[in-house]
């Protein structure tokens, strides 16, 4: 069975006798039967969809690997950019914030900011390319039947691949600036998973949205910039003045990045509320984004 198809049994209208079809057509030479029928905006059977998706996971991995390689192909520093660019970004933000704060920085602020920037870019580096993943997949989409969710998801994989090399950088700076080290830091893995899940959900949402609204990708850079400023990256969560603390709750990344900093930077067990709110956002975004994408994806080919 292939994806984006319905098995013969499922969508046979009741007035047609499925037995007649099986009798006439199915035999030893027909390992697969596909029926294509008018597309209604509806979620296809999820289990077969996920199975097809899983069967083609190699595609997403290979695609991400090639994308990553081609991004830095022929540049002066090559793959060193994977470390250089987030590091430089972190330093720029630090200098900026340090000047604004007049030089009085709370304890561990540099590593808080750096870790936050790395985590934030894990999110935004997935979402921005994902927006273009479907509309830019022209030939592949027009000529091959496969679960389209592979396209935004491989953008997420690229982002993870870009994120991982920044971890050793963070570790070195964390130790060098004398931040505490402890087993509680492992909570960061949970937060990492939340961020990835959330990024995947938002990626699928914008990838499908871009098909209908071609200027979405024009908005995204601004949205991403503002989102960064509204997240506890350039400031500490507990510095938030009264009246603004709702930001940490309504901003999905607010709770995740708060927990992230508590675990990674302070080596403490993050607040359970942050973890749970983050989890709720992540699961919610993944389910909503996934269902929206999957219910629309059969339409993509006629709308490219």
Question: Of 40 and 242, which CB lies nearer to other proteins in the complex structure?
Answer: 40
Number of residues that bind other proteins (CB under 8 A): 64
3 state DSSP class of 7: strand
Query: Is 244 one of the binding residues for other proteins (CB under 8 A)?
Result: no
Query: Is 140 one of the binding residues for other proteins (CB under 8 A)?
Result: yes
- Own/partner pairs for 170-177, CB < 8 Å, 24+ apart? 170/111, 170/114, 170/115, 170/118, 170/264, 173/110, 173/111, 173/114, 174/111, 174/115, 174/264, 174/265, 177/108, 177/110, 177/111
What is the nearest approach in angstroms of other proteins to the Cβ of residue 21? Answer: 7
DSSP category for residue 212: H
Query: Is 161 one of the binding residues for other proteins (CB under 8 A)?
Result: no
For residues 19 to 58, the per-residue mask of contacts with other proteins, x marking binding by CB under 8 A and - elsewhere, is x-xxxxxxx-xxxxxxxxxxx-----x-xx--xx--xx-x
What is the nearest approach in angstroms of other proteins to the Cβ of residue 147? Answer: 9
Concatenating the DSSP letter of every residue in 240-280 gives: PPTTSTHHHHHSHHHHHHHHHHHHHTT-SPPPHHHHHHHHH
Distant-in-sequence, close-in-space partners of 213: CB < 8 Å, separation ≥ 6: none
- How many Å apart are CA 284 and CA 294, to the nearest integer? 15
Question: Of 23 and 238, which CB lies nearer to other proteins in the complex structure?
Answer: 23
Task: Give the residue, chosen from 4, 255, 261, 266, that forms a contact with other proteins under the rule CB under 8 A.
Answer: 4
Task: Give the residue, chosen from 104, 143, 243, 272, that forms a contact with other proteins under the rule CB under 8 A.
Answer: 143
Question: Of 48 and 271, which CB lies nearer to other proteins in the complex structure?
Answer: 48
What is the nearest approach in angstroms of other proteins to the Cβ of residue 266? Answer: 41
Concatenating the DSSP letter of every residue in 116-175 gives: HHHHHHHHHHHHHHHHHHTGGGHHHHHH----TTHHHHHHHHHHHHHHTTHHHHHHHHHH
Query: Under rule CB under 8 A, which residues in 204-223 are in contact with other proteins?
Result: 212-216, 219
Query: Is 101 one of the binding residues for other proteins (CB under 8 A)?
Result: no
Question: Of 150 and 200, which CB lies nearer to other proteins in the complex structure?
Answer: 150
DSSP category for residue 235: S
Query: Is 162 one of the binding residues for other proteins (CB under 8 A)?
Result: no
Which one of 89-97, 177-185, 270-278, 296-304 is the stretch in contact with other proteins (CB under 8 A)? 296-304
- How many Å apart are CA 229 and CA 250, to the nearest integer? 14
Residues lying near other proteins in the complex (CB under 8 A): 2, 4-5, 7-10, 12, 18-19, 21-27, 29-39, 45, 47-48, 51-52, 55-56, 58-59, 62-63, 66, 70, 137-146, 150, 212-216, 219, 298-299, 301-304
């Amino acid at each position: 069975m292939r994806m984006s198809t319905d098995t013969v049994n499922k969508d046979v209208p009741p007035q047609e006798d499925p037995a007649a079809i099986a009798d006439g057509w199915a035999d030893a030479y027909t390992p697969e039967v596909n029926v294509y029928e008018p597309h209604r905006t509806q979620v296809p059977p999820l289990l077969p969809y996920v199975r097809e998706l899983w069967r083609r996971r190699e595609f997403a991995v290979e695609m991400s690997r090639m994308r990553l390689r081609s991004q830095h192909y022929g540049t002066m520093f090559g793959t060193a950019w994977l470390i250089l660019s987030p590091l430089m970004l972190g330093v720029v933000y630090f200098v900026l914030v340090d000047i604004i704060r007049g030089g009085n920085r709370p304890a561990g602020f540099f590593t808080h900011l750096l870790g936050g920037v790395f985590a934030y870019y894990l999110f935004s580096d997935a979402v921005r390319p994902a927006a273009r993943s479907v509309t830019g997949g022209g030939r592949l989409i027009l000529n091959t039947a496969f679960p389209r969710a592979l396209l935004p998801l491989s953008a997420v994989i690229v982002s993870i691949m870009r994120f991982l090399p920044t971890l050793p950088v963070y570790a070195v700076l964390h130790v060098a600036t004398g931040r505490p080290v402890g087993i509680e830091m492992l909570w960061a893995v949970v937060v990492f998973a939340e961020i990835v899940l959330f990024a995947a959900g938002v990626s699928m949402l914008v990838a499908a949205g871009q098909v209908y609204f071609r200027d979405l990708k024009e908005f995204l850079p601004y949205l991403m910039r503002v989102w960064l400023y509204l997240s506890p990256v350039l400031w500490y969560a507990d510095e938030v003045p009264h009246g603004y603390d709702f930001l940490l709750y309504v901003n999905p990344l607010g709770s995740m990045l708060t927990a992230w900093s508590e675990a990674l930077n302070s080596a403490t067990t993050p607040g359970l509320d942050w973890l749970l709110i983050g989890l709720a956002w992540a699961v919610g975004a993944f389910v909503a984004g996934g269902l929206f994408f999957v219910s629309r994806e059969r339409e993509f080919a006629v709308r490219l």
